[in-house]
């Protein structure tokens, strides 16, 4: 069912969108007059179909040079809705598709459904703009299908939705299973996708803390997700940096003393580097990717902090028995930050975890070599996967010349629920849920024996 020209005209007037129908159908020749949905569509395609890019990069690529910030914000909301509710959206649409259309057409339909059922876009606007999006992107043949499916969804979607197990559908099956096996509650974790996580800031000692925050720890304050960080007093002057409370724990628990020689082995963008410097360490910050090292440098410049910056692979550096303390915040699947980065739910695949485990082990082995005898090392990952976390700590503990240095309740009195029997720290996004939760981290500490 395709909308008649008359209804098009009505809808166009209604939502103030200019007629931009291309004279040549099937060719994306002109600029889309609906940048919000075009950006959302291009981003989603890059995340899922073309390049498997992370959200941040895909969105950057999709933005026109002269993007209006309101379009960008609206597109972001739409993309995040797709990432958070992909399973539910697919289950809603499936009964209305006899055959699978091209993948891009499916995204256009899902973007339309997300607007109708979750983002309170008026139905007529969602349908009209979806049809136009299909036409503009070379899928004129499918405008009838897009229109018909969205109409059916607008009529039947809410009642179908009631019978769907949304939490289960929104978490990929392999992750659900692995979290279950790890003893976490995947259903509770899934519910966290429904709300925007708060923004935590780490302040320099003696900084003036802007109003509106709630103090979590000494220098750590929590603000609403709606706060415009760059407009907060003290941002330009480098008085604070953004850092989830759980992400601040690895550097905090390394317990650096004044003038100790400290290595931060996987450092960018540098939240933990800044903490180590603030604690008084002489910090060497290592990062493998030059673009990320540049970002780390810019962040430290804003904070007026200094570290020795090293571009290189932390697994093969020329240090021997050199550091009093090392932070190994290893590259990982990042499944612990799925609330802030829902793209990880879809980008990470089960069969990639083992190669991450191998990389982490190589870094662990190298890091021990860089450590002075008697020196301590904190290993951390923002992952909920046991193989990258608890199992790596077991591997670490059994290496010759290393012993575990368990954390104690005294060290972390404000979050004792995160202390495991073995003396590791395991934070979950569902901890402090009444305050807005936290990222999922695993942290373990070791000493190199004399």
Ligand X SMILES: C[S@@+](CC[C@H](N)C(=O)[O-])C[C@H]1O[C@@H](n2cnc3c(N)ncnc32)[C@H](O)[C@@H]1O
**Residue 270 CB, nearest distance to ligand X (Å)?**
5
**Residue 329 CB, nearest distance to ligand X (Å)?**
4
Site size for ligand X, by CB under 6 A?
17
Residue 269, marked binder = yes
Residue 267, marked binder = yes
Residues 243 and 203: their CA atoms lie apart, in Å, by 10
Kindly tell me which residue out of 34, 71, 260, 287 binds ligand X, with binding defined by CB under 6 A. Answer: 287
Of 164 and 217, CB closest to ligand X: 217
Kindly tell me which residue out of 77, 141, 152, 288 binds ligand X, with binding defined by CB under 6 A. Answer: 288
Of 135 and 341, CB closest to ligand X: 341
Q: Are strands 308-311 and 199-203 parallel, antiparallel or unpaired?
A: unpaired
Of 39 and 246, CB closest to ligand X: 246
Task: Print the binding letters for residues 316-355 with ligand X: x by CB under 6 A, - otherwise.
Answer: -------------x-x------------------------
Under rule CB under 6 A, residue 358 binds ligand X: no
- Which residues have CB under 8 Å from 437's CB, separation 6+? 192, 197, 198, 339, 429, 430, 431
Scanning residues 244 to 283, which ones bind ligand X (CB under 6 A)? 266-272
Q: What is the Cα 61 distance to its own chain's centre?
A: 17
Residue 272, marked binder = yes
* Residue from 339, 335, 387 nearest 359 by CA: 387
Of 292 and 372, CB closest to ligand X: 292
Is 382 a known active-site residue?
yes
Kindly tell me which residue out of 289, 358, 373, 397 binds ligand X, with binding defined by CB under 6 A. Answer: 289
Kindly tell me which residue out of 74, 190, 303, 314 binds ligand X, with binding defined by CB under 6 A. Answer: 314
CB distance 256 to 376 below 8 Å: no
Unique residue bearing structure tokens 């073309």: 50
**Residue 314 CB, nearest distance to ligand X (Å)?**
3
Residues 268 and 356: their CA atoms lie apart, in Å, by 18
Residues 296 and 293: their CA atoms lie apart, in Å, by 5
Of 44 and 266, CB closest to ligand X: 266
What residues line the site for ligand X (CB under 6 A)?
266-272, 286-289, 292, 313-315, 329, 331
- Binding region for S-adenosyl-L-methionine: 266-272, 287, 313, 329
Annotated catalytic residues are: 382
- Binding region: 266-272, 287, 313, 329
């Amino acid at each position: 069912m395709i909308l008649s020209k008359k209804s098009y005209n009505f809808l166009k007037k209604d939502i103030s969108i200019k007629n931009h129908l291309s004279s040549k159908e099937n060719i994306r020749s002109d600029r889309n007059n609906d940048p919000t949905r075009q950006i959302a569509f291009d981003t989603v395609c890059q995340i899922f179909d073309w390049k498997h890019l992370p959200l941040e990069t895909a969105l950057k690529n999709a933005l026109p040079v002269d993007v209006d910030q309101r379009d960008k914000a609206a597109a972001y909301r739409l993309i995040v809705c797709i990432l958070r509710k992909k399973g539910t959206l697919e289950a809603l649409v499936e009964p209305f598709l006899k055959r699978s259309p091209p993948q891009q057409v499916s995204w256009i339909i899902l973007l339309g459904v997300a607007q109708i059922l979750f983002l309170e876009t008026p139905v007529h606007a969602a349908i009209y703009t979806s049809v136009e999006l299909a036409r503009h992107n070379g899928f004129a043949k499918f405008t009838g299908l897009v229109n018909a499916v969205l109409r059916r969804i607008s009529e039947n979607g809410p009642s179908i939705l009631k019978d769907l197990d949304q939490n289960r559908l929104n978490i990929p099956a392999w992750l659900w299973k692995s979290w279950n096996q790890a003893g976490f509650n995947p259903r509770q974790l899934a519910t966290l996708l429904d709300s925007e996580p708060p923004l935590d800031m780490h302040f320099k000692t003696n900084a003036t803390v802007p109003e509106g925050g709630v103090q979590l720890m000494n220098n750590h304050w929590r603000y609403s997700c709606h706060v415009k960080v760059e407009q907060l007093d003290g941002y330009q002057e480098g008085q604070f940096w953004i850092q989830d409370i759980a992400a601040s724990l690895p550097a905090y628990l390394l317990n650096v003393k004044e003038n100790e020689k400290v290595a931060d082995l996987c450092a960018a963008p540098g939240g933990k580097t800044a903490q180590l410097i603030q604690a008084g360490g002489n910090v060497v910050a290592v990062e493998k990717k030059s673009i990320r090292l540049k970002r780390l440098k810019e962040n430290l410049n804003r904070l007026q902090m200094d570290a020795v910056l090293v571009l290189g692979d932390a697994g093969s550096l020329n240090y021997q028995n050199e550091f009093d303390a090392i932070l190994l915040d290893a590259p990982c699947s990042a499944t612990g930050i799925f609330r802030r980065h829902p793209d990880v739910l879809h980008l990470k695949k089960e069969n990639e975890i083992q190669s991450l485990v191998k990389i982490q082990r190589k870094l662990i082995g190298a890091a021990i070599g860089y450590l002075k005898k008697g020196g301590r090392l904190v290993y951390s990952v923002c992952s909920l996967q046991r193989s990258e976390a608890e199992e790596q700590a077991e591997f670490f503990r059994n290496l010759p010349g290393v012993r575990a240095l368990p954390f104690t309740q005294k060290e972390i009195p404000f979050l004792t629920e995160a202390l495991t029997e073995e003396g590791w720290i395991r934070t979950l996004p569902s901890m402090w849920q009444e305050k807005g939760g936290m990222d999922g981290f695993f942290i373990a500490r070791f000493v190199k024996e004399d």
